[in-house]
Amino acid sequence: MEGFFLSVSQSRRSRAGKAFEIILEELLGRHLGFPLDGQVKVDGAKPDFVMPSSEYFDQNPIDCMLLTAKKTLRECWRQVVTEANVTYSYF
């Protein structure tokens, strides 16, 4: 029984995270007009968004922004620790 509730909880968190990504993509891409690519593999990492595009990142990585969408502070710190060596600039 405990496994069932854990599974339901994990599914809910996954859907909430995906919904947050969709909201950010709509806001940044369609409403504000920022060019971006979503869910592409970059240097072994898979950020949620690459701005302006993954092709541009391959040519000029220092001029691009990698954006990850995290719902909680705990997720943010876990992401920083695991991908600290991937980024070129910190903001």
Residue 65 vs residue 6, higher pLDDT? 65
Position 4: which residue type?
F
Tens of pLDDT, residue by residue over 32-79, are 888 888 878 777 777 888 888 888 888 888 888 888 777 776 666 566
Domains and CATH numbers, the chain: 2-83 (3.40.91.80)
pLDDT (average), residues 76-90 = 53
pTM: 0.61
Instruction: Determine the Cα–Cα distance for residues 72 and 16; give it in Å rounded to an integer.
Output: 11
pLDDT computed for residue 84 by the predictor: 46
Distances (CA, A) of 22 to 4, 19, 38, 88: 27, 5, 10, 26
